C-alpha cells in the first residue's frame, strides 16, 4: 500500500502519543504530580493480578535494572506494591496499590473521554471500524495481548 503521507506506524505513534499526553496532563491536574512519563509507562503494564518485574521490563522494552529502578520509585510513591507470587513463593509480583488504583481510574476516565472526542470527530461508524481494525492488528503485533 503506497502513500505519500506518513505510514501507519507513525500515525499510530502520533495518536498514541496524543493519548499519553492528555492522560499525563489530567493525572497531574488531579494531584498525581509525582509520577514521570517513564514511570507511567511501566505502571501501565502492571496487570490486574500483578506482574513480575522481568515481564514489565520485557513488555516496556527496557532493561531489568531500569524496570527495578522505576518500580522502586513507584513503590516509594505508593503507586505499586510487591507481593509474593501465588504461583511461585520465591518470586514477587508488582501490583497496584490503592493509590495506584485511584490513579488508574483517573487515567481510564480521560482515555474514555478522548475516545468519545475522537468518535465525534471520525463519526461513530469510522470510530468503530478503527477500533475493530486496531484490535485485529493487535492479534499479530502484540505478544502480550
Sign, CA dihedral 121-38-63-105, equals: negative
The whole-angstrom separation of Cα 97 and Cα 41 is 16
In three-state secondary structure terms, 99 is helix
**What is the domain partition of the chain in residue ranges?**
8-141
CATH 1.10.10.10 matches 8-141: yes
Q: What is the pLDDT of residues 25-76, one digit of tens each?
A: 999 999 999 999 999 999 999 999 999 999 999 998 999 999 999 999 999 9
86: which residues sit within 8 A by CB, 6+ positions away?
none
Amino acid at each position: 500500500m503506497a502513500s505519500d503521507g506518513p505510514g501507519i506506524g507513525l500515525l499510530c505513534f502520533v495518536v498514541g502519543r496524543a493519548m499519553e499526553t492528555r492522560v499525563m496532563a489530567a493525572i497531574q491536574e488531579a494531584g498525581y504530580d509525582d509520577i514521570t512519563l517513564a514511570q507511567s509507562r511501566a505502571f501501565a503494564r502492571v496487570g490486574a493480578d500483578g506482574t513480575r518485574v522481568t515481564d514489565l521490563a520485557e513488555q516496556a522494552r527496557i532493561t531489568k535494572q531500569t524496570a527495578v529502578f522505576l518500580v522502586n520509585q513507584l513503590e516509594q510513591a505508593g503507586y505499586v506494591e510487591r507481593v509474593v507470587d501465588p504461583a511461585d513463593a520465591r518470586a514477587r509480583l508488582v501490583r497496584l496499590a490503592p493509590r495506584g488504583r485511584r490513579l488508574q481510574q483517573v487515567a481510564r476516565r480521560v482515555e474514555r473521554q478522548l475516545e468519545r472526542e475522537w468518535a465525534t470527530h471520525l463519526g461513530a461508524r469510522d470510530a468503530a471500524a478503527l477500533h475493530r481494525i486496531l484490535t485485529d492488528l493487535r492479534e499479530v503485533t502484540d505478544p502480550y495481548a
